Amino acid sequence: MITQSLLHHVTTITDRGFSRFWASGLLLLIGVTWPLWFPRLRDLYPSVPLVPIPAAMLPMALLIGFVCSLALVSSLAWIAIGKGGRNLWLVCASMLLIGFLIDQHRIQPWAYQSFFYGIMFAVIPVEGWKRWIRPLIVSIYAFSALGKLDAQFLNTVGRDFVEMLTNYLPGNLSEQAQRNRVILSAVLPITELLIAGSLCFVRLRFFGSIAAIAMHLSLIAILGPWAKNHSLGVLIWNALLIGQHVYLIGGNEHAGHETSPVLQGRFGIEKLKMRLVGALWLIAITAPTLERQGYWDHWTSWSLYSPHTSRARIELHQSVFHELNDLQQTSLIGDHDLDQWQEISLGDWSLSSRGVPVYPQSRYQLELATIIASQLNTTDGIRVKLQSVSDRRTGGRREELLLNLQEINQARGNFWLRPQPSS
């Protein structure tokens, strides 16, 4: 009995240590992406709300978002040093949610995951955290894998990953890998599926976590500044996920006694809290099935490193270039067809302005087009190639060419979720 009690006490400390670890990691992620959370009054990159906010109220909303970010950072710092309790995690989750509503660009995958963790840390008993984390982790790997099992990934990003990894191989193996790079590009999504499946079974969880750690280490090798040179936030998130699996492995001595994450609240408000958490968890785990149909966003469906996402490719006429700011100027792609129109790379603009990739959603990028048109005071100097999600088997997309601001606004009307009415 004494041994069991001591072991339970040590495990509880480890669980609480994970809460502090996640707070520290989230604090670091916000730190390296600070322009996203603390935009300047005259931000060179616009904030696009997730919900309708009248234009006259937008400055107040941005101020509220700034205050919420301060509250989020302060709460996370307090938790990280071991001073904060469960209520502070509820504050963190609430501040994240408000931040998402004010600027949907903040719905980064790691921030979205942290929103659910914050609710879990605040409401779920400490000894039940692992039982609630695992189903969410399984869904992340499963949906991430399914998003990559298509023609777009296998022939583009997947091949790039393989080519980058072959740089670490001896000459003969590197040549063989290059010849079979399309086949090898399927290894990553298949690995993710195997990890998701293994985490569902008690006897395989240890091996699943070890495989996940190896996969994230390989992603760091591919995406680091010595290779693909992706944003620092991507690397930190992968390191955070490695720490998460170290935490999950630490609880395997009790794996045989685990039960499913049932709602075990007692009465009244506690029972209501547990039911609300259960409803949110159910949404997080099942809603990604609607992504390909356009009813759930790509990043909230864990579409990671997958190029099948919808997009709006914004092109500007040379006559409005003098109105662009420096970061927009440097984000222009060359006029290869010499038609006096050049695409602005939203990904480059986002990375240079905010330190994060652009939100991969045609709805969001279409809103950026209207804001750019307003800033440039043009209706005919902008056009958009609106592209659908790619076909899983062929990689093809439906494309609609919007030739001016009026047609862009008409296309906005096809989306039910937009920050302002289309004009």
Give pLDDT tens digits for 234-268. Answer: 899 999 999 999 998 875 444 434 444 444 445 56
The model's confidence at residue 222, banded by pLDDT at 50, 70 and 90, is: confident
Are residues 209 and 250 in contact, defined by beta-carbon separation less than 8 angstroms? Answer: no
pTM comes to 0.89
Could you tell me which of 29, 21, 26 has the C-alpha nearest to residue 243? 21
Instruction: Judge residue 256's burial from the number of C-beta atoms within 10 Å of its C-beta, 0-12 exposed, 13-18 middle, 19 or more buried.
Output: exposed
The model's confidence at residue 168, banded by pLDDT at 50, 70 and 90, is: low
* Strand 399-402 relative to strand 382-387, pairing: antiparallel
How crowded is residue 235: how many other Cβ atoms within 10 Å of its Cβ?
A: 17
Q: Coil, strand, or helix at residue 319?
A: helix
| pLDDT exceeds 90 at position 229 | no
DSSP states along 85-127: -HHHHHHHHHHHHHHHHH-GGG--HHHHHHHHHHHHHHHS-GG
258 backbone dihedrals φ, ψ, rounded to 5°: -80, 150
| pLDDT exceeds 90 at position 85 | no
The model's confidence at residue 335, banded by pLDDT at 50, 70 and 90, is: confident
Listed in sequence order, the DSSP H helices in 124-167 are 129-148, 151-155, 157-166
> In this structure, which long-range contacts are made by residues 217-221, counting pairs with CB atoms below 8 Å and at least 24 apart in sequence?
217/242, 218/165, 221/165, 221/168
